[in-house]
Amino acid sequence: MRDGPNTHVGSMMDVAVSPVLALRKFGCEQSLLSRPDGSSSFVQGDTSVLAGVYGPAEVKISKEIYDRATLEVMIQPKVGLSGVRERAQEHCVRQTCEAALLSTLHPRSSLSLILQIIHDDGSLLSCCLNAACMALMDAGLPMSCLFCGVTCAIEQDGHIVTDPTSQQEKESRALMTFAIDSAERRVMMSSTRGSFSVNELQQCVALSQRASEEIFQFYRDSVRRRYSKTL
Amino acid sequence: MRETPLSNCERQFLLKAIEEKKRLDGRQTYDYRNIKITFGTDYGCCVVDVGKTRVLAQVSCELVAPKDNRPTEGIMFINLELSPMASPAFESGRQSELHVTLNRLLERCLRNSKCLDTESLCVVSGEKVWKIRIDVHVLNHDGNIMDAASIAAITALCHFRRPDVGIQGEEVTIYTPEERDLIPLSIYHMPVSVSFSFFQQGTFLLVDPCEREERVMDGLLVIAMNKHREICSIQSSGGIMLLKEQVLRCNKIASVKVCEITELINKALENDRKVKKEGGKFGFAESMAKERITALKSEIAPVEMIDIEEKAEDIICRTGAPCDTVPSPVVRAPGTGQVGEGLQNAWGLDEVEEEEEEEDDIEQGGPEKQPESETITSKKGDVVVISDSEEEEVVILHQGVEVKDFREEMSSGQKQATSASKKKKKKRKLAH
Amino acid sequence: YNFTYPFSSSISTANGSALVKIGNTTVICGIKGELTCPPSDAPNKGYIVPNVDLPPLCSSRFRPGPPSEQAQVASQFIADVIDSSNVIQKEDLCIEKGKLSWVLYCDIICLDYDGNLLDTCVVALLAALKNARLPEVTINKETDLAEVNTDKLHHLNVSKHPVSSSFSIFDNTIVIVDPTVEEETLSTAMMTVVTDEDDRLCMLHKPGGSALSGEKLQDCISRAVTRHREVSKLIEKVMDSFEPDK
């Protein structure tokens, strides 16, 4: 967001001007489970994900990396066993976390992040990312930056919707999920579905960066609240 | 990851405390920990907390062909998942002994006690029946998974609603919830299991052992019972000998506990129904989510002062307002878009040349290509040689590189590539 | 760019096939069509089932046994590309509504792994689909059975031509196209952009790694567009060269 996003220029593509363009209510709770070293549950509208982090702990020899920690991410669906789709999501979440974590501070150790889907009502991947970030924070792991996930959907008529519900996802023409970093609001991860133009993509990126501000503010508020009593 | 081992002094401390009829969390020997049942936004989903043990259950259904020997009965499938989140000792994808035991116990408690009217799940005899699937995920392991799982499973079953079906001739149509109301399952009775752990060869007994107590116990007795005091299953494990009186005493305790728990489940279900009715269809989802969060809040906040609770309510983050004044991408898009266009134009020019070259190529090389491709393997050598020379053509994009340079670099790269392709073709021709 | 070269029709038992090399990375794609019942929720559609196999043969980093995470991720990526780009209209695969449709098994096997697997797979898939020929199937009205006419072969209707371009990113300052295995392992992030012939994006796949600004993204996208032209021209050329013979 270095070149002022606030400047108004006649838009080529209509940015949807409607109350739909909002993030749903979100909520988060940290360290709600007793066993994991860090845990959080993140709720976006009806979508809800529970995350647990174990580590740094002893690592299996076969998975040991000599100069940094091994991160494992598991996504558990609510019904049935995890399949190829979950594997792909795990891959995205893992690489995003790896980029944010300062894993070189814990060489030859293992970190495991488990995400349990409690309810899916759209924007699942972004909810997973948010829950993951909160859980990593709760576990007190050193990170170079925070990250958050934002999902945008482009409707049939070209309107953009942020944080879509599963109904909106189904009706949409394209769906994009971005992970935005807290340091410079850049795109850490992107995963898309459906076809769209470059213009639409850039709009969605800017929109996500905008939305990320809200989420990071939320992160800050929740952490401030969490530690307000012990100060 | 391995479980942290229990030290000897911890073990002795625990045993000593049990001998003195004291428990770590201040409970009496026959006390249950706090049981809390919360429902999800959709039917058949609930989370059950027994103290710190937390279990999630979800019921789902699908139409399948029935088993050959039971053509008029629906199928009930139970899957208990020990998520690695629950404890570092649990690994995903590996069936541990505990996993198998718990699954089997739950199956006996629910399926073999015939608590569900499976005949009502038949749609077309011998062809289509409902398969009810219960997924139970253990989210946090603090002992007594079995009881938590059985409560969660039966509550989820009671909460679940299946869609209605209509039969016209051979066609079976499933109605959406909008078309016809969902139907609850018919449950005959509600079996709930109660666990007893024994210490010192059965001298001491505790109800609802927590994780640490489970680690030092000698034996375990699990009794599944419904509120009519009918025993659905009973299992003793751990290799201790129990006297008849002991079992009977446990039985008596179990019947009391089961009544309490069943009442709790019914109350929870009733409460949920009421909330749903009041909230109406639209507000229901919202109110449920809110309720769940506040419920957790009130539960945890007093225990751990550090715990944050989200202002899920007050932060209804309306990015809407700032967002619709964001034509910023448009600022960027034409700017950056131009780069793309410029390149395309440059390419357009190049393409003309390239096409000409290619046409020549095709004229010469075209007809001979077909036989060649069948003998690829024999020409592998050529290909390798060429790819070596091309390794240097990797184009590096520097941020600072001006568009023009970039373009030139690109086009020269392309020319080299095409010339390489020509070279390649010629070689192949020779080889042929 | 390293050089791409598709050879088509290298497997005689499959309905369509292609072998593609980008640099040292070699991938072979075979397409096999089978008849099946269409899915109950979409009776007028067929299936496309892609599978990417990374056998131990292609690199010492892969072990025998169940598919590795990378292979599963690649399979999912190819499936997403097929869905997002509509490379084949799934309605075209239906023979009779609710009764019979084609299922296309697209098996992609890596023979030599030297980075940039996804690009190679997408080119191979596209070339193989363009090359694939399915026999004509009619349903006999009296017997209600399908009759396969193997004399009449026809091409698949490939409606879109997705081409992917991968980039290796080094700390948001250097972007390298078409990375080799060394470059991939050393880089801090990977990104794959898939475009179709109308310059629309089908996929912007960046599984984590170091962050990238919007401007950089745009750079990569415009590179991807030019890359698309290059590759589609190449495929066309190869395809054209076949036609006169058949």
Which segment, A114-128, B164-178, B270-284, C204-218, is predicted with the most confidence on average?
A114-128
Instruction: Name chain B contacts of A48, Cβ cutoff 8 Å.
Output: 40, 289
Q: C152-181 pLDDT, tens per residue? A: 778 888 888 888 889 898 876 788 888 888
Query: Tokens 């891959």, residue?
Result: A91
* Reported confidence tier of residue B286, pLDDT bands at 50, 70, 90: very low
φ, ψ (nearest 5 deg) of residue C200? -90, 155
> What is the rounded distance in angstroms from the CA atom of residue B124 to the CA atom of residue B65?
9
Query: What count of other Cβ atoms lies within 10 Å of the Cβ of residue C1?
Result: 24
Distance (Å) of CA B290 to CA A223, B38, B430, C240: 20, 12, 76, 62
pLDDT at B160 over 50: yes
Average pLDDT, chain C: 82
pLDDT tens per residue, range C85-111: 888 888 888 887 777 888 889 999 999
* Contact (CB<8Å) C217/A205: yes
For residue A114, is pLDDT > 80?
yes
Both structure tokens of C104: 């296309």
Q: Which of C54, C167, C187, C200 to mutate to test the interface with A (most CBs of A within 10 A)?
A: C200
Cβ distance of C241 and B369 shorter than 8 Å: yes
For B5-17, write each residue's pLDDT tens digit: 888 999 999 999 9
Three-state DSSP at B113 gives coil
pLDDT of residue C5: 60
A48, amino acid identity: S
User: What's the total number of domains in chain C?
Assistant: 1
Tell me the percentage of chain C whose pLDDT exceeds 90: 9
Most distant CA atoms of chain A, gap in Å? 59
Which chain B positions have a beta carbon within 8 Å of C1's beta carbon? 393-395, 413, 417
Pick the more confident residue, A187 or C43: A187
Mean pLDDT of B236-262: 89
Mean pLDDT, rounded, for A90-98 = 92
Residue A230 confidence (pLDDT):
56
Nearest CA-CA distance, residue A225 and chain C, Å: 29
The per-residue pLDDT for range C104-159, each reduced to its tens digit, is 899 999 998 988 899 889 988 888 888 888 888 877 777 667 777 777 778 888 88
Contact status of A91 with chain C (Cβ, < 8 Å) = yes
Q: Is the dihedral of CA A220, A119, B161, B259 positive or negative?
A: negative
Buried b (16+ CB within 10 A) or exposed e, B174-213: beeeeeeeeeebeeebbbbbbbbbbbeebebbbbbbbbbb
d(CA B96, CA B405): 62
Domain at A23-230, CATH from 3.40.50.620, 3.30.230.70, 2.40.170.20, 2.40.50.140? 3.30.230.70
Band of pLDDT at residue C3, cut at 50, 70 and 90: low
pLDDT digits (tens, 9 = 90+) for A33-70: 888 998 888 888 778 889 999 988 888 888 888 888 99
Q: In this predicted structure, what is the pLDDT of residue B1?
A: 62
Q: Do B365 and C176 touch (CB under 8 A)?
A: no
Q: Which of residues 96-135 of A touch C (CB under 8 A)?
A: 96-99
Given this model, what pLDDT does residue C43 score? 77
Give the model's pLDDT for residue B190: 92
Q: How many CB atoms lie within 10 A of CB B341?
A: 13
Strand ranges (DSSP E) for chain C? 4-8, 16-22, 25-36, 47-53, 94-96, 100-112, 133-139, 146-155, 163-170, 174-177, 189-195, 201-205
Q: How confident is the model at residue B326 (pLDDT cuts 50, 70, 90)?
A: very low
Degrees (nearest 5) of the Cα angle B238, B240, B245?
A: 130
The per-residue pLDDT for range B30-80, each reduced to its tens digit, is 888 989 888 877 888 888 889 889 999 999 998 888 988 888 888 999 999
pLDDT band of A128, cuts 50, 70, 90: very high
Distance of CA A75 to the CA centre of its chain: 13
Determine contact, residues C128/C106, Cβ cutoff 8 Å.
yes
For the ranges B133-137, B325-329, C28-32, which has the lowest average pLDDT?
B325-329
Q: How many CA atoms lie within 13 A of C117 on its CB side?
A: 23
pLDDT over 90 at B259, yes or no: yes
User: Mean of the pLDDT values across residues B273-293?
Assistant: 50
CA distances from C87 to A140, C159, C197 (A): 46, 5, 11
Query: At A229, is the pLDDT very low, low, confident or very high (cuts 50, 70, 90)?
Result: low
State yes or no: pLDDT of B297 exceeds 60: no
pLDDT of residue C211: 83
Q: Which pLDDT score is estimated for B322? A: 26
Confidence of residue C7 (pLDDT cuts 50, 70, 90): low
Radius of gyration of chain A from Cα atoms?
18
**Residue pointed to by tokens 């590179």:** C223
Q: How is residue B398 written in tokens? A: 């520097």
pLDDT of B139 higher than 60: yes
The predicted model gives B199-207 an average pLDDT of 86
User: How many Cβ pairs closer than 8 A exist between chain A and B?
Assistant: 221
State which of A27-41, B319-333, B378-392 shows the largest mean pLDDT. A27-41
Which of the four pLDDT bands, split at 50, 70 and 90, describes residue B125?
A: confident
Say yes or no for a CB contact (<8 Å) between A78 and B137. yes
Alpha carbons A92 and A89: distance in angstroms, whole number: 5
Element (H, E) at B23: none
Q: Report whether pLDDT(A224) > 90.
A: no
More confident residue, A142 or C96: A142
Per cent of chain C over pLDDT 70 is 92
Residue A105 near chain B (CB below 8 Å) = no
Contact A64, A108 (CB under 8 A): yes
Q: Please say if the pLDDT value at position A73 is more than 90.
A: yes
The partner residue sitting opposite C1, judged by closest CB among B397, B399, B413, is B413
Euclidean distance between CA atoms A2 and B175, whole angstroms: 52
| CATH number of the domain that residue C53 is part of | 3.30.230.70
Contact C57, A165 (CB under 8 A): no
Q: Is the dihedral of CA A79, A84, A89, A94 positive or negative?
A: positive
- pTM (2 decimals)? 0.79
Quickly state the pLDDT bin for B145 (edges 50, 70, 90).
very high
Residue A202 scores a pLDDT above 50: yes
Beta bridge partners of B309: A29
* Cα Rg of chain B (Å, integer): 34
Q: A90 falls in which pLDDT band (50, 70, 90)?
A: very high
The shortest CB-CB distance from B324 to any of A15, A221, A222 is to A15
Q: Which CB contacts under 8 angstroms, 24+ apart, belong to B406-414?
A: B407/B342, B407/B343, B407/B346, B410/B343, B410/B346, B410/C226, B411/B346, B411/B347, B411/B350, B413/C1, B414/B350, B414/B354, B414/C230
- Kindly report which listed range (B81-85, C116-120, C197-201) carries the lowest average pLDDT score: C197-201
Taking the Cβ of residue C69 and every Cβ of chain B, the question of whether any pair is shorter than 8 Å is answered with no
| C70 in contact with B, Cβ within 8 Å | no
Q: What is the value of ipTM here, to two decimals?
A: 0.85
The alpha carbon of residue A229 is apart from the nearest alpha carbon of chain C, in Å, by 35
Q: What is the mean pLDDT of residues C179-190?
A: 88
- The domains found in chain B, sorted by start residue, are 27-286 (3.30.230.70)
CB B226 within 8 A of CB B190: yes
pLDDT digits (tens, 9 = 90+) for B217-229: 888 999 999 889 8
CA atoms C196, C201, C205, C208: torsion sign: positive
Q: What integer pLDDT is reported at residue C9 of this predicted model?
A: 59
pLDDT at B330 over 80: no
Mean pLDDT, residues B205-215 taken together: 89
C214/B421 CB distance under 8 A: no
Shortest alpha-carbon distance between residue C230 and chain B (Å): 9
Whose CA is closest to C159, among C62, C60, C51, C87? C87
Structure confidence at residue C96 (pLDDT): 78
> What is the spatial distance between Cα C159 and Cα C119, in angstroms, rounded to a whole number?
19
Inform me whether the C-beta atom of residue C177 falls under 8 Å from chain B C-beta atoms.
Answer: yes
Task: Compute the mean pLDDT over every residue in chain B, rounded to the nearest whole number.
Answer: 68
- Find the closest chain A residue to C199 by CA distance: A197
CA-CA distance, C205 to B323, in Å (whole number)?
Answer: 25
Whether C201 and A87 lie within 8 Å, measured CB to CB: no
